[in-house]
Amino acid sequence: MKIVIADTNLVPLRADLEEGLPAGSEVRWLDPRDLPAVEAAVAGADVLVSARCRATVAAAGTSLRLVHAVSAGVDGIDVGALPAGTIVANTFHHEDSIAEYVVAAAVLLRRGFLAQDAALRADRWASPAYDPGLPWTHSLAAATVGFVGFGHIGSRAWECLRLFGPRGAAVTRRGGVDAAARGLEWAGTTADLGALLDEADVVLVSAPLTPETRGMIGAAELARMKRSAVLVNVGRGPLVEEKALYAALRDGDIAGAAIDVWYGYPGAGAVAAPSELPFRDLPNVLMTPHSSGVTRQTFAGRALDVAANIRRLAAGERLVNVVAVA
């Protein structure tokens, strides 16, 4: 079996992944940014492991039977350009690491640790224990957490957050979340988004990005949030309208935000502005480079999934995590 792997996240796990592949596999490792090399390599290949498969790559891969993303998202794969019958699969394993991020970000923002860190670097002890004029901060036990999306990420984050004793509510596109079974106060559809924003102290955004969800949280929605509330976005940047979010944070309409998903990404290399707006100048924002799920544990699990699916393909067995068939 001829396999092309064009995903730099798997390079540190190369030995583990190759050990799990079918005996006799011919494996080529390529930089996904070297498009001509990828196009040349997929000619005659059975499997492409990559987050991206553009039309030119798909056209070159006339023998492809499987394109496997090393992530949940497959938006970088041009399914329509693939040979008929090609299977497209994905993998997850990021929910535990992202749940850790959500808990850390919610605590950091709600307890005011960003401001306290900045103040102490200037020798000022910004705590009501030393400055009685400052307000007390609040623990998660006193919070209501609102989930915009309640899939792998939202549900796992709630399992972790519940240990601190908050209330929870969730809205999803289809509805159907069993609130009682999940320990939530209530659950509804995105038609109930306004009600969720009215009461939430922490808003976790983890919905998928679709034409319907793009900009689902804009100026009107942010205006419904409490001034003391914080927002954590680990879904996709454009779920929250960029200019409205910046204005709400700048003007103190919401207390803070942890932003892990952005409006601009590097085309190559590791340097690019995440937004045209100066979020970096705001003291109430935790900025991270789409790294909430990026841990060795996440990609070790994904490598095992990829290898297992390739073994299934070789054995003529049914694959798991199939997203589409061309």
| Exposure of 258 in the CB half-sphere (CA atoms within 13 A) | 26
Task: Please report, for the domain that includes residue 59, its CATH number.
Answer: 3.40.50.720
Looking at residue 269, what is its pLDDT? 86
One domain for residues 117 and 262: yes
Looking at residue 79, what is its pLDDT? 96
One domain for residues 69 and 48: yes
3-state class (DSSP) for residue 229: coil
Q: How far is CA 291 from CA 93, 101, 185, 243, in A?
A: 14, 9, 30, 23
One domain for residues 304 and 320: yes
* Cβ–Cβ < 8 Å for 80, 61: no
Over residues 132-181, the pLDDT tens digits come to 999 999 999 999 999 999 999 999 999 999 999 999 999 999 999 999 99
One domain for residues 163 and 235: yes
One domain for residues 15 and 158: no
Looking at residue 130, what is its pLDDT? 98
Alpha carbons 41 and 61: distance in angstroms, whole number: 8
One domain for residues 110 and 138: yes
Positions in the chain short of pLDDT 50: none
Domains in the chain: how many in total? 2
The single residue listed with the structure tokens 């996440």 is: 298
Nearest alpha carbon to residue 323 among 95, 93, 73: 73
Q: What letter would DSSP give residue 5?
A: E
One domain for residues 67 and 102: no
Alpha carbons 37 and 6: distance in angstroms, whole number: 10
Name the residue range of residue 122's domain: 95-287
One domain for residues 18 and 66: yes
Nearest alpha carbon to residue 67 among 306, 254, 318: 306
For residue 106, the surrounding DSSP H or E stretch is helix 95-110
Alpha carbons 128 and 116: distance in angstroms, whole number: 11
Looking at residue 98, what is its pLDDT? 98
Q: How far is CA 187 from CA 152, 154, 184, 200, in A?
A: 16, 13, 7, 13
One domain for residues 81 and 228: no
* Cβ–Cβ < 8 Å for 45, 26: no
Alpha carbons 299 and 94: distance in angstroms, whole number: 8
Q: Which DSSP string corresponds to 138-154?
A: --GGG-EEEEE--SHHH
Looking at residue 267, what is its pLDDT? 86
Looking at residue 268, what is its pLDDT? 80
One domain for residues 69 and 31: yes
One domain for residues 145 and 9: no
One domain for residues 269 and 165: yes
Alpha carbons 55 and 17: distance in angstroms, whole number: 27
Over residues 232-254, the pLDDT tens digits come to 999 999 999 999 999 999 999 99
